[in-house]
Amino acid sequence: MKKLSIIGMPMDLGQMRRGVDMGPSAIRYAGVNERLKKLFDEVHDLGDIAIGRPEVMIDEESNLRNLDLVAEKNESLAVEVDKAIESGSFPLVLGGDHSIAIGTLAGVAKHYQNLGVIWYDAHGDLNTAETSPSGNIHGMPLAVSLGIGHSKLTNVGGYTPKINPENIVIIGARSLDEGERELIKEKGIKVYTMHEIDRLGMTKVMEETIAYLKDKDGVHLSLDLDGLDPHDAPGVGTPVTGGISYRESHLAMEMLAESKIVTSAEFVEVNPILDDKNKTASVAVALMGSLFGEKLL
Ligand SMILES: NC(=[NH2+])NCCC[C@H](N)C(=O)O
Ligand SMILES: [Mn+2]
Ligand SMILES: [Mn+2]
């Protein structure tokens, strides 16, 4: 019995550009339910986590924009993700800015002893208040999940850390801040930058990634649409040129489907205001199709 739970997280408090809160709607409009119903026995769309429209505020002291709200809303997400897994469902979270990975991983990681994470992204999202150039929490969730950062964030879900550095693979990196580079080196995090993707090809990158994570008891895929080239996924708040192509991304998802290692996923940073006729949401849905085993023949 294959069950999928879809959870919308219309969060935009982790960054400054309005519109990413409409990501879950855009992805639903692009047909996520219809497409994935063919690949699961049951698809439960649980609707959206309530975010509301609070006054935007910055905690000047700590360089953590909307700290309390981001923490609070991620607690709610963690509860829903946890419940989905308890009920035997594969949790698929629709973002929302990438700060939602804090809540997703809080809900997921308690179910695994040794969770692997694939971070498909132009960025490392390994900043802290001290290293962040922007104060935007969507640039911090991977560090937070490692237990590095403000305790209001690292303690979401009531425990820390969620993951270990040697269980992470970052794919598609091409924009890293100085503090992120240092953390990657210090912790020995595995990273396939665009250089390695060009050099090795996506086939080899995914073969190595899958081999690297094979012995984990679960693998979470956190896919930031800005990992793709802005030509293929223009509707994102922090685009970086020279990214992963649409075709390479399909191949990556198909290889993950074949490997059967992925046990939870989130697709984030879809911003329909910045998009071109809902292209980015449609790309997200197409990639989900491949991730969950869609085949042409
Ligand atoms: N999830 C994202 N799109 N993150 C972008 C982060 C950009 C930059 N590194 C920052 O920390 O502000
Ligand atoms: Mn990114
Ligand atoms: Mn990201």
Q: DSSP state, 186?
A: H
Q: How far, in Å, from the CA of 125 to the mean position of ligand 3?
A: 6
Residue from 116, 130, 127, 110 nearest 222 by CA = 116
Average pLDDT over residues 122-140: 97
Tell whether pTM > 0.80: yes
Q: How far, in Å, from the CA of 297 to the mean position of ligand 3?
A: 33
The answer to whether residue 195 scores a pLDDT higher than 70 is yes
The answer to whether residue 184 scores a pLDDT higher than 70 is yes
* pLDDT at position 54: 67
* pLDDT at position 52: 81
**Active-site entry in 48, 75, 125, 229:** 125
Task: Tell me: ipTM over 0.95.
Answer: yes
Residue-wise pLDDT for 10-19, tens only, equals 999 999 999 9
